[in-house]
Amino acid sequence: MILFDLKCRKGHVFEAWFRDGAAAEKQIAGAKVACPVCGTSRVEKAPMAPRIGKGDAEAKESPERKQMAAKAALLRKELSELRAKIEANCDYVGDRFAEEARKIHYGESDRRGIYGETSSKEAQALTEEGIEFARIPWLPQRDS
């Protein structure tokens, strides 16, 4: 495993683990890596110094990196709270999300909050039909 610093087109710097350098290049080129701050998949490797030696890593960490880590932690907390709120107040419809959203939009089903999964193609079709929905980064319920 190898850790790279990545930078999105908006200047956000973040870290990502890859199997090896070739896997990193393939995933970056294929737009498979997204910025955790803004969500864009237009990222590239950022200049980074190798982590050599031992010592107090926190003392060596830059203020900018500490600030980014704090923002990322806050974002993860907010996304976890949002997930809990959605799960408590909405119906899970699984991979039938697009179908259920259409039924609600066209009055074939009662209006209610729903959540589930849909493909990018189905999401685009919903948008073209004028059906309002939001795509939310779904974090695991707990870190392992």
Q: What is the pLDDT along the chain (144 residues), one digit of tens a residue?
A: 888 899 998 888 888 999 988 999 999 999 999 988 888 889 999 877 666 655 555 556 778 888 888 888 898 889 889 999 999 999 999 999 999 999 999 999 999 999 999 998 999 999 999 999 998 888 766 544
Whole-angstrom CA distances from 74 to 17, 69, 70, 120, 132 are 21, 9, 6, 27, 27
pTM of the model: 0.53
d(C-alpha 93, C-alpha 81), whole Å: 20
d(C-alpha 29, C-alpha 23), whole Å: 10
d(C-alpha 120, C-alpha 106), whole Å: 21
